[in-house]
Amino acid sequence: MIHLLTADKQLTVPAASGRPKDQLWIPRHVLTELTGWHLESEGLCKGDVCTPLAAGAVEQDGDLVHASALWESLGRPVLHDSAATTWLLGEAAADRQRGLESLEAPDFTLPDIEGKLHSLSDFRGKKVFLSTWASW
């Protein structure tokens, strides 16, 4: 089993067998579950929006996608532990910067102390003072 981590999601899935340790190959439906993207002939699509991909940017083998190469081709960091059982698929600086420059407050979903999830977008319609702290 391998752990897949993105900024806002975490999945544990069976590992694809027979692949080099530095390559993450996952089924298309797992890529979709992780990112919300569908791999179509037009490119990577989320809802109505498709990002075209350069020819050969996505290696596929049957149902499996070379996800780590795809991620890196989008300028996003990919990290994994030495056993290649935990993979971090990160966000590109350019996407984060552009997001903040739009001045649309990025949404997030986090638990309270009872474990109940809350999103920033739950409070649309109110002024929100978002402040951080730490027990340390």
Partner 1 sequence: MWQKLYEELRDQNFMIIAVAMDSRGIDAVRGPIRRAKTTYTSLIDRNHLVAELYNMVNVPQAVWIDERGRIVRPTEVSGAAVAMNLSKVRKTRKIYCDAIRDWVKNGDHSAYVFDEEQSRARLPEFTEDIALAHANFHIGQFLWAAGEQAEASAFLKRAIELNPDSWNFYRQMKNLEHIFGSAGPDFMRRARRWRKEGKEYYPLPDMESMREVMD
Q: Rule CB under 8 A: which residues touch partner 1?
A: 3, 5, 7-8, 77, 79-82, 86, 88, 90-93, 96-97, 99-101, 103-108, 110-113, 115, 118, 120-121, 123-136
Spatial distance between the Cα atoms of 36 and 42, rounded to a whole number of angstroms: 16
In the complex, what is the shortest distance from the CB of residue 61 to partner 1, in angstroms, rounded to a whole number? 26
- Cβ–Cβ < 8 Å for 91, 79: no
Spatial distance between the Cα atoms of 105 and 130, rounded to a whole number of angstroms: 10
Q: How many CB atoms lie within 10 A of CB 61?
A: 10
Q: Which residue's CB is nearer to partner 1, number 36 or number 106? A: 106
Q: Which residue's CB is nearer to partner 1, number 46 or number 96? A: 96
Spatial distance between the Cα atoms of 74 and 58, rounded to a whole number of angstroms: 11
In the complex, what is the shortest distance from the CB of residue 95 to partner 1, in angstroms, rounded to a whole number? 9
In the complex, what is the shortest distance from the CB of residue 6 to partner 1, in angstroms, rounded to a whole number? 9
